[in-house]
A and B are shown apart, each in its own frame.
Chain A
Amino acid sequence: MLSFQSSKNVLSLTEDLLVRIYELLAAESDRKSFRLVCREFRRIDTLTRRHLRVIRIEFLPILLRKYPRLQSLDLSACPRIDDGVVSLLLTRVGPGSNSPILGHWAWGLKSLVLSRATGLRFSGLEMLARACPCLESVDVSYCCGFGDREAAALSSAVGLRELNMDKCLQLTDVGLAKIAVGCSKLEKLSLKWCMEMTDLGIDLLCKKCVDLKYLDVSYLKVTNESLHSIASLLKLEVLGLMACPLIDDVGLQFIERGCPSLKVIDVSRCEGVSSSGLIFVVRGHRNLLELNAGYCLSQELSTALLHQMKNLNHLEVIRIDGARISETSFQVISANCKSLVEIGLSKCLGVTNMGIMRLVSACINLRVLNLTCCHSITDAAISAIAYSCRSLVCLKVESCNMITEKGLCQLGSFCLLLEEIDLTDCCGVNDKGLEYLSRCSELSCLKLGLCTNISNKGLSYIGFNCLKIHELDLYRCTGIGDDGLEALSNGCKKLRKLNLSYCNEVSDRGLGYIGRLEELSDLEMRALHKITGVGLEAVAVGCKRLADLDMKHCEKVGDSGFWALAYYSKNLRQINLSYCGISDMALCMVMGNLSRLQEAKLVHLSNCTVEGVELALRACCVRIKKVKLFAPLRFMLSSEILEILHARGCIIRWD
């Protein structure tokens, strides 16, 4: 970042140059640093900023006033937004302005993410839809309350092109019809888990929204009738049919004849689909880019299908998880589908070194390879992959036990672009292997769960070289201790997600190092028996962005730690305190003081009384969305608090 000495020179830069510089800053943290430099830079940030993701809703009005040129607003992190908030935001521009200009900020807004905003109902959505004339993209996924009325409200946003309604459980055909008629320009629509949806709704959608390019009807109980309707969509490019139990080969026959623009199809986990259904799809669409047929090919890939696949010269992605596959199949695929970029062979039977070697010999552009649970592959296969696919970005070899440091050595030598590797449960991985792997300096996601042979030394290589790592899984890496964490905290400053569960050696000192990771948002540290309140305090003080904390079975942590948590971890959204020695008082503090807390697991709190839990629930009942409680408490807690929680839409899980 810019130092103070050079600030004079920097200030002499013209505004447009500063804007250009600003636009080159990709990471949010860098932009934050940028706008903290000086007023001028802050102004640049204000003027240029297009996207805003709000984390604390109380700042929303100020932020909206500050950034007038917003195009994209992400409110998914503040699920407590409701109709009242929206009406306030849209009417009260600022305390100073006399003439209430209706939601000035909303005029230019194009994208709105309202995922999990369960408090937002039709009146709020209606206001938003009317206030944002340029709205093109809305995400209302996981809004459990989103039903037909809300859909009707949203349908007044006539310019809508993209709409995500995943898991809007109350949405029915009527709501979809509202959307289909109102937003006829829709190009992208996702309806995953909208369980009330039927063929009628899909049929109407296909007739009204003829511009659809992307349609996801995964997990719906729609039948072949829907496929018949969908086949009439001339512009459809992406079709998601994942786990549609009522769809079978007959339906895919419609797809063969229709959807001339189809590029991507996902029929994974469709029980009714077999090889012959896929043959229809492949035969009709020679230009298919992506075929996802995981877990629907229980038998071996039929020769007829392979024969058809020869024609898929443009195929880039193929996922046939769970299928039985032979070496000849690999031969056919590699010989014909030369542009393959991603292959998913997770849990496939019959994947051998020889097969992989044949595959990668031709598919040299492979970037993503998933070999999860292909137990029979060894270093030979990995070496072949590393040697052929130099641009490999993601490799998943979970529980491939025969991989050793030799394979990792090849990876570290050739696949320097590797960003993600999953080595979970690969016992062959050791410190030496990590040393080789650490040469992949682009590595951002490293999963080493259950690799019991690695120690602090191996981790220190990672900490020293892989500075871009943001996710690290050390689940049950019992060889890891405080020193490893020290190395990690020195290097991997970008770490956002860390799993330290069952790393028994980690003590308060280790957590002290963790506290240096300012970006850390997810921390799982189950059953760390050595840590106490001191360690937790260090984490709470240091990791300001901490949003998800799982500390089940950390029995030695005392109240001082929890108090610190209550005071400092203002961004905490989920917490698991089960089997912790937290007292009534501390529990109350944690639950009451953490203003963003949405989900809490509070099972077997041995030091807590019923009254304590009751009080804690009372303290957080206005915002908590999900809580897990010890089953007998169901009859011991007052019915009043249970009713309040229920009325606030909180889901209680009894354990």
Chain B
Amino acid sequence: MDLKERVCGELQKEVPKGASFTKFNTQHQQKWEDPSSTSDYSTRIEPPFQAFNQTSQTQSLLLCNNQIKVPMQDGSVNDLLQASKIQDWDPSAMLNNLSFLGQKIHQLQDLVYLIIGRKGQVLGRPDELLVQQQQLVTADLTSIIVQLISTAGSLLPSVKQTLSAATTSLGQCGEFGGVVFPSSAQGLNDGVQPQNAGGSKVSEPPNSVDITSNNGNEQSNHIIEEHELKDEEDAEEGENLLPGTYEILQLEKEEILAPHTHFCTICGKGFKRDANLRMHMRGHGDEYKTPGALAKPTKESSSEPTIIKRYSCPYAGCKRNKDHKKFQPLKTILCVKNHYKRTHCDKSYICSRCNTKKFSVIADLKTHEKHCGKDKWLCSCGTTFSRKDKLFGHITLFQGHTPAIPSDEIKAAPAGTSDGATNKVGSVNFNLSYVSSESEVQSSSMDIKGGIDDAVGYFSPLSFDTCNFGGFHEFPRPPFDDSESSFAFLLSRSCNYSQKSGEE
């Protein structure tokens, strides 16, 4: 808490910085001053307005802050974060971060002022406008708070908790608010909540936004991650360790599902693997750039006889759970993670190509997506094969199984030209989704009906112009003397003719 209070103190010194943005004021004032009143709100809102209005000169400040937030949010914050990563951990960097925090907190402060102040100003304004503005302001608030959290998180020297960095910082965010603006946060809640649901937004968005920011951090990790994620469970399948010859470890569910396991002792950033953490550490100073620091921690255990570690799944009743009769231990933590996600978690990753296959481990999805669509050999039972001969072998083996024909062609056929001659074999794109024969039938019969109904479609394969039911409209016999007029006649008739017969 000491630290935070210091931060807070420094922030307040930084406040005047915001003054440089006053030039943006005019626009905003025009927008917000737009007067029209609803008596409804006046009673409730007025008191806080008056209270805060006493702190003068702030209004101009906060207005400008509102405008700059857009570029700040994306560009400069990241830059700052970047800077903090690359630079050594030294007081100046710390100071930078702190000043940034100060700036942000100030913005936040001003925003809250604005909310309260405006409520006083805009007595009797129509509800909707007010609500819209409210939402705008709360969105701004949200973004600023998020920036605060992320920057503040990097200030922490170490986070030695099993919880993810994200949740930690989130928890601290609340404290921040409590420390820095005890009264304003209160006022904010007072002011917003009674009016509409928008009030809840103030508390909610930080969560969601936080997740996205996390993702951003992780992106680089994913790439390395996926290759190794696959080796898991199968690897140890053949292993036959006698019970008791190894130590059984069992991680808790939260531990398993936590996105990160390795955390930077300096900035608290979380990583999925130690190697990535070591790479990250280089940014914190030269001492981390030595080959020794970068090298994989040597396993001294290889020389010494150590107890073999095996893992148990925390899910009771699972074969991988140590209490199971035929317990089969998992070899590594990675195995545990993948096993737990695959077996006991929802499959939340859906293949965007086929929209059918679901995975709980993102790496599985990536692997699938690499082959999705390439597995064009599809059996009626839903099994896919990458090779035609495998499919045919499968069909030979199982009674009643037939190759399934990708659904794309169905859609292509009615849209395509009349007589299939143009329907080239090679052009069929096997971007497939499973289609049972029943649905094929249905869709086909639907097609036909559609074709009959609007058979005017000249090129539709289902149009009837080729068959001329109910008596063929004989080609007209035009007068032969006047060639020009008869030509025109012919032409128009030929058009009519095709349409007319199409309607039958």
Count of chain A residues near B, Cβ 8 A: 62
B451 near A170: Cβ-Cβ < 8 Å: no
Min CB distance A200 to B, Å, is 5
- Complex alpha-carbon distance, A85 and B501, angstroms: 12
Contacts of A588 in B (CB 8 A): 487, 490
Q: Give the contact-size bracket for chain B.
A: 35 or more
Contact A149 B409 (CB under 8 A): yes
Given the complex of chains A and B, what is the CA–CA distance between A61 and B467 in angstroms?
11
Answer whether residue B405 sits at the interface, using C-beta atoms and an 8 A cutoff: yes
Q: Which residues of A contact B441 (CB under 8 A)?
A: 126
Assembled-state Cα–Cα distance A582/B441 (Å): 49
**Contact between B468 and A204, CB atoms less than 8 A apart:** no
Within 8 A of A (CB), among B424-469: 425, 437, 440-441, 444-445, 447-448, 451-452, 455, 459, 461-469
Within 8 A of B (CB), among A150-185: 152-153, 155, 170, 172-174, 177-178, 181-182
- What 1/0 mask marks residues of chain A from 111 to 143 whose CB sits below 8 Å from any chain B CB? 000000011011110110000000000000000
Shortest distance from the beta carbon of A591 to any chain B beta carbon, whole Å: 9
- Report the minimal beta-carbon distance from B381 to chain A, rounded to whole angstroms: 12
Query: What's the least CB distance linking A586 to chain B, in Å?
Result: 9
Residue from B401, B448, B490 with most neighbouring chain A CB atoms (10 Å):
B448
Give the chain B neighbours of A566 by CB distance below 8 A: 475
CA distance A623 to B413 in the complex (A): 20
- A58 and B468 contact, Cβ closer than 8 Å, known pairs A82-B461, A589-B475: yes
Question: What is the CB-to-nearest-CB distance from A516 to chain B, in angstroms, rounded to a whole number?
Answer: 27
| Option from B395, B410, B421, B468 in Cβ contact (under 8 Å) with A118 | B421
Are B425 and A204 in touch, CB under 8 angstroms? no
A216 at the interface (CB under 8 A from B): no
Q: How far is the CA of A204 from the CA of B392 in the complex (A)?
A: 7
Knowing A119-B466, A173-B388, A207-B396, the reply to whether A592 touches B421 (Cβ < 8 A) is no
Starting from the known contacts A121-B420, A595-B468, A615-B487, 14 additional A-B residue pairs (CB-CB under 8 Å) come to A58-B467, A83-B448, A84-B455, A84-B467, A88-B452, A124-B448, A144-B419, A181-B401, A203-B392, A592-B475, A623-B466, A646-B422, A649-B419, A649-B421
A84 lies within 8 A of B423 (CB): no
Can you list 15 A-B pairs, Cβ within 8 angstroms, ordered by A? A58-B468, A80-B466, A82-B467, A119-B419, A123-B444, A126-B441, A152-B405, A170-B420, A182-B402, A196-B425, A595-B472, A618-B491, A647-B418, A647-B422, A649-B419
A423 to B: closest C-beta gap in Å: 40
Within 8 A of A (CB), among B4-20: none
A182–B467 CA distance with the chains assembled, in angstroms:
31
Closest residue on chain A to residue B470 by CB atoms = A58
Contact indicator A585/B418 (Cβ below 8 Å): no
Interface residues of A (CB under 8 A from B): 57-58, 61, 80-85, 87-88, 118-119, 121-124, 126-127, 144-149, 152-153, 155, 170, 172-174, 177-178, 181-182, 196, 200-201, 203-204, 207-208, 566, 584-585, 588-589, 592-593, 595, 611, 615, 618-619, 622-623, 646-649, 651
Does the CB pair A82–B447 fall under 8 Å?
Answer: no
Interface assignment of B494: CB less than 8 Å from any CB of chain A: yes
Are B452 and A651 in contact, with the CB atoms below 8 A?
no
Q: Is the interface of A mostly helix, strand, loop or mixed?
A: helix
Contact assessment for B402 and A155 in the assembled complex, using a CB-CB cutoff below 8 Å? yes
**What is the bound-complex CA distance between A173 and B468, given in angstroms?**
36
Whether A172 pairs with B413 at a CB distance below 8 angstroms is no
State whether B402 touches A178 (Cβ < 8 A). Answer: yes
In the complex, the chain B residue whose C-beta lies closest to that of A178 is B402
Chain A residues positioned under 8 Å from B447 (CB to CB): 123
The listed residue with most A CB atoms (<10 A of its CB), out of B461, B465, B497, is B461
Chain A residue at minimal CB-CB distance from B419: A649
A127 to B423, CA, bound (A): 21
Candidates A146, A174, A619, A649; contact of B422 at CB < 8 Å: A649
With contacts A84-B451, A200-B392, A615-B491 known, is A649 near B467, CB below 8 A?
A: no
Name the one of A118, A122, A126, A177 contacting B419, with C-beta atoms under 8 angstroms: A118
Which residues of B approach A to under 8 Å, CB–CB? Answer: 388-389, 392, 395-396, 400-403, 405, 409-410, 413, 417-423, 425, 437, 440-441, 444-445, 447-448, 451-452, 455, 459, 461-472, 474-475, 477, 480, 483, 486-487, 490-491, 494, 497-498, 501
Contact A84 B459 (CB under 8 A): no
Shortest C-beta distance, B317 to chain A (Å), equals: 41
Q: Which residues of chain A have C-beta atoms less than 8 A from B498's C-beta?
A: 622
Contact of A83 among B425, B461, B465, B487 (CB under 8 A): B461
Cβ–Cβ contact B421 & A177, under 8 A: no
| Of the residues B392, B445, B459, contact of A173 by C-beta under 8 Å | B392
Which one, B452, B465, B466, B497, contacts A87 given CB within 8 A? B452
Within the assembled complex, what's the spacing in Å between the Cα atoms of A170 and B427?
A: 12
Separation of A540 and B475 alpha carbons in the complex (Å) = 17
Whether A593 contacts B475 in the complex (CB less than 8 A), given A119-B418, A177-B403, A648-B419, comes out as yes
Within 8 Å CB of A595, what residues of B? 468, 472, 474-475
Chain B residues with Cβ under 8 A from A611's Cβ?
487
In whole Å, how far is B32's beta carbon from the nearest beta carbon of chain A?
A: 60
In angstroms, Cα B449 to Cα A88, docked, is 10
Cα(A120)–Cα(B78), bound, Å: 62
Question: Which residue of chain B is the closest to A125 with respect to CB atoms?
Answer: B444
Contact of A204 among B396, B452, B467, B494 (CB under 8 A): B396
Tell me the complex Cα distance, A118–B392, Å. Answer: 29
* Minimum Cβ distance to chain B for residue A196 (Å): 7
Residue in B389, B392, B419, B483 whose CB lies within 8 Å of A585? B483
Cβ-defined partner of A593 (8 Å) among B419, B474, B501: B474
Return chain A residues, CB-CB under 8 Å to B410: 149
Closest Cβ neighbor of A171 among chain B residues: B425
Which of A585, A592, A623 is the one whose CB lies under 8 Å from B480?
A585
Question: Which residues of B are found within 8 Å of A145, using beta-carbon distances?
Answer: 419-421, 423
**Chain B residues positioned under 8 Å from A646 (CB to CB):** 417, 422
By the criterion CB–CB under 8 Å, are B421 and A619 in contact?
no
Q: Are B420 and A83 in contact (CB under 8 A)?
A: no
With A and B bound together, what is the CA distance between A185 and B396 in angstroms?
16
- The residues of B that contact A618 with a CB separation of less than 8 Å are 491, 494
Specify which of A85, A127, A177 lies most central, judged by the most chain B CB atoms within 10 Å of its CB: A177
Residues of B within 8 A of A58 (CB): 467-472
B441 to chain A, nearest CB (A): 7
- Contact call A585/B486, Cβ cutoff below 8 A: yes
